[in-house]
Amino acid sequence: RILVSGGAGQIGSELVPALRERYGADNVICGDIKIPQGSLAEDGPFVQLDCLDEEKVIETIKKFNVGTIYHLPALLSATAERNPQKAWNINMNGLLIALEAAREFKCSIFVPSSIAAFGPSTPRVKTPQDTIQRPQTIYGITKVAGELLCDYYFIKWGVDARGVRYPGIISYKTPPGGGTTDYAVDIFYGAIKEKRYECFLREDTRLDMMYMPDAVKAAISLMEADPSKLVHRNAFNITAMSFTPHELAQEIKKHIPDFVISYSVDPLRQSIADTWPDSLDDTCAREEWGWSPDYDISQMTKDMLENLKKKLLN
């Protein structure tokens, strides 16, 4: 069976249903510290699970005979920067507990990293898979440390740990969760509700992004990949598109011609975004486990507006 820890978060809310669809609802346990509304807790097994509660994590793995863990709990970049000690505790001690459990019970484990794992001294354009990683945000530090810890558990104990460096993820099912890239989610709410959006990043801030269906596909594809073909493990560069707030606003205007974007830069989140790459090179993911995205900026924008309209206007 599969345990998705942090399963009620931004990625988990869409990964859990996709896994249940693929493997059968009863085989996918959603665990989260907060009990979600709706289908996550109704369509299959749900466990109230604090990733820092080692006993409960082990009890859950034994009770459900878990063979694969998707470990998603983390404070995202902006939230983490406001509470670095709490971010270290959740992002690192939560991960250590999951890795120890994976080692003891021979589970495979998916642990997401992020473009935040790169810093200002990293090559910004077509950032290579193997390059310097000296992030200057606590979130990025926990992501690099997480990558190293996962590779350590693989090298030392053979734990089947795999991960991807996610770019900003855009989705309509959950509200934005304290990330720097979340302007690219907020903007759609503003476009539909008020035909305007005040963006907290500069109009020329270029960042890698990905639509949620591709983010979910990447996690499942990597965990189903033939391990003998994996040269890398933690964690693969993956991307789907790279755009600026100005370019995204132009794309939205193709559907809502009188949409207006304005800018009121948030120094904290701008300083975070300025340390991240402009575009990733995801050749290794493509070569080692067949990665390829389905959504580009125009397909994502069309699908986001259609689905968010339904959600907001019903």
Quick one: which segment of 113-121, 218-226, 280-288, 306-314 binds ligand VAH (CB under 6 A)? 113-121
Count of residues of this chain found to bind ligand VAH when the rule CB under 6 A is applied: 12
| Catalytic residue (one of 23, 70, 139, 197) | 139
Nearest to 144 by CA among 121, 115, 167: 115
Beta bridge partners of 30: 4, 46
Calpha distance 59→65 (Å, rounded): 10
Answer yes or no whether residue 114 interacts with ligand VAH by CB under 6 A.
yes
Quick one: which segment of 85-93, 96-104, 162-170, 254-262 binds ligand VAH (CB under 6 A)? 162-170
CB of 125 to ligand VAH, least distance (A): 17
Q: Omega before 219 cis (within 30°)?
A: no
| DSSP notation for 191-251 | HHHHSEEEESS-TT--EEEEEHHHHHHHHHHHHHS-GGG-S--TTEE--SEEE-HHHHHHH
Q: Classify 76 as helix, strand or coil.
A: coil
CB of 231 to ligand VAH, least distance (A): 24
Nearer to ligand VAH, 32 or 160 (CB): 32
Calpha distance 233→235 (Å, rounded): 5
Q: Classify 33 as helix, strand or coil.
A: coil
Site for ligand VAH in 79-108 (CB under 6 A): none
Tokens of 187: 């903007």
The residue written with tokens 């690192």 in the block is 92
Answer yes or no whether residue 167 interacts with ligand VAH by CB under 6 A.
yes
Answer yes or no whether residue 180 interacts with ligand VAH by CB under 6 A.
yes
Tokens of 123: 């090559």
Nearer to ligand VAH, 143 or 232 (CB): 143
Answer yes or no whether residue 129 interacts with ligand VAH by CB under 6 A.
no
Answer yes or no whether residue 168 interacts with ligand VAH by CB under 6 A.
yes
Answer yes or no whether residue 76 interacts with ligand VAH by CB under 6 A.
yes
Calpha distance 199→273 (Å, rounded): 13
Answer yes or no whether residue 77 interacts with ligand VAH by CB under 6 A.
yes
Beta-strand pair 164-166/236-237: parallel
Quick one: which segment of 24-32, 61-69, 173-181, 228-236 binds ligand VAH (CB under 6 A)? 173-181
Answer yes or no whether residue 242 interacts with ligand VAH by CB under 6 A.
no
Calpha distance 124→121 (Å, rounded): 8
- CA 203 from centroid of its chain's CA atoms: 23
Burial 175-186 (b: 16+ CB within 10 A, else e): ebbbbbbbbbbe
Tokens of 174: 């959950």
Nearer to ligand VAH, 168 or 190 (CB): 168
- Quick check: is 189 catalytic? no
Answer yes or no whether residue 116 interacts with ligand VAH by CB under 6 A.
yes
Nearer to ligand VAH, 61 or 116 (CB): 116
Answer yes or no whether residue 179 interacts with ligand VAH by CB under 6 A.
yes
CB of 169 to ligand VAH, least distance (A): 6
The residue ranges that bind ligand VAH (CB under 6 A) are 76-77, 114-116, 139, 167-169, 179-181
Indicate which residues carry an active-site annotation: 139
